[in-house]
Structure 1
Amino acid sequence: MKLIGIVGTNSDRSTNRKLLQFIQTHFSDQAEIELCEIKDLPAFDEPEDQTPPITVKELSDKIILADGVIISTPEYDHTIPAALKSALEWLSYTTRPLIDKPVMVTGASLGSLGSSRAQAHLRQILDAPELKARLMPSAEFLLGHSQQAFDEKGDLIDQDKVNELEENFEEFLQFVKMTEQLLKNRSKKNTKPFSWEV
């Protein structure tokens, strides 16, 4: 199975990047996971012809080719970072690669809540008509006090959190397969314009 992990911040010292790197390594025997950054994407600026910048197009192409997507977000002021919102706005306004794409949401934060409010907000955004991702229900992975959560090799220290992540990841792989079966006999994507675009 081929997945991509999107680092939901433009910070160079993000523990969400560390979390995705751990996921990439820990589950390498179950899936090929490519990490994608958003820090080089420009701020969203509504293009008249709906053509994305090359960096957005590259991310979009990777999403299209992947079986599923993992997004790991920090929490800034009770919500997701502006850089992640901007990236999603580019995707929703131009290529719309997340429509019907299975998505797993994770998050790490320096505080105790582990980005719970940001994850809830991200789920609402991903459910918007122009994004319309297939979100894995009833599962969230919250990593609090994330600066102290990893050892010097980048491994999660708390075995209970590792076990929780393993359960979530196994469920996500099943969710990807179930989504593929559900959409098997359906047309690939609704290419008709939305009512407000006509």
Structure 2
Amino acid sequence: MTIRVKAVIGSTSSTSYNLKLVNFMAERYKEELEITPVLINDLEMFSIDIESEPPVAVQTFKDDVKDSDAVLFAAPEYNFSIPGAMKNALDWLSRGGDFTLHGKTGFIVGASMGVFGSVRAQIHLREILSNPALAPILLPGNEVYIGAVHTKMDEEGNITDEATIAFLDTVVQNFIAFHKKQQAIAQA
């Protein structure tokens, strides 16, 4: 059974390394995971004034994420945290009372040209995702921080660093086992 995964891309850049990473993962793991990127570029800033009737782009985004078995968060790091656009997307996912992420399994990856590979952003992201209005069930202990990504990826977005590929392979297999275990618990 293929696990349907929606990948929330935390960057709005058309040349995002995190989008390239997700596309690489979608191709490499296509037999086990059906990874579909979900872009946040067109989301209006959250406001309680429009919460009860969210803009079409927001409702489409929420519906896309909800229509999945699991969620992958691809988090770049901007000024030691997640980008504002990603925080805005999470704000929208937390509102409306539909608990879009609640109970879904998920995992986090992040790539950066810096040496830390989005570690600080991922710490903040995990804290935000712990909000009861979000509350996905995140894979623990499998942090993917790809630092100096520009030296580990070719022009087409393929990861060329064998150690990084091997680590991603391990994390994906761990996620699949984790997802299956969580599904069994939910059905018990």
Q: TM-score, normalised by structure 2?
A: 0.93
How do 1:10-159 residues align onto structure 2 when only pairs under 5 Å count?
10-47=12-49, 50-94=52-96, 95-159=98-162
Looking at structure 2, the residues matched to 54 and 96 of structure 1 have their Cα atoms a distance apart, in angstroms, of 18
- Residue in 2 that maps onto 1:195: none
Looking at structure 2, the residues matched to 51 and 170 of structure 1 have their Cα atoms a distance apart, in angstroms, of 40
- Residue in 1 that maps onto 2:5: 3
Q: Using the TM superposition, give the Cα deviation of residue 147 of structure 1 relative to its aligned residue in structure 2, in angstroms.
A: 2.0
Q: Using the TM superposition, give the Cα deviation of residue 77 of structure 1 relative to its aligned residue in structure 2, in angstroms.
A: 1.1
Unaligned runs of at least 5 residues, structure 2: none
Query: What does the per-residue CA deviation read over 1:42-84, in whole Å, with 9 as the maximum and x for residues that have no partner?
Result: 1111236533322122122222221111110111111100000
Looking at structure 1, the residues matched to 153 and 168 of structure 2 have their Cα atoms a distance apart, in angstroms, of 14
Deviation larger for 31-40 or 42-51: 42-51
Q: Secondary structure at the match of 1:154?
A: coil
- Residue in 1 that maps onto 2:176: 173
CA RMSD of aligned residues (A): 1.4
Q: Using the TM superposition, give the Cα deviation of residue 12 of structure 1 relative to its aligned residue in structure 2, in angstroms.
A: 1.9
Looking at structure 2, the residues matched to 91 and 15 of structure 1 have their Cα atoms a distance apart, in angstroms, of 24
Deviation larger for 75-84 or 148-157: 148-157
2:145 partner amino acid: L
Q: Using the TM superposition, give the Cα deviation of residue 39 of structure 1 relative to its aligned residue in structure 2, in angstroms.
A: 0.8
* Paired residues, number: 185
Looking at structure 1, the residues matched to 95 and 32 of structure 2 have their Cα atoms a distance apart, in angstroms, of 33
Unaligned runs of at least 5 residues, structure 1: 186-198
Cα pair 1:50 1:93 within 8 Å, conserved = no
Looking at structure 2, the residues matched to 179 and 90 of structure 1 have their Cα atoms a distance apart, in angstroms, of 25
Among all aligned residue pairs of Structure 1 and Structure 2, give the percentage whose two residues are the same amino acid. 33
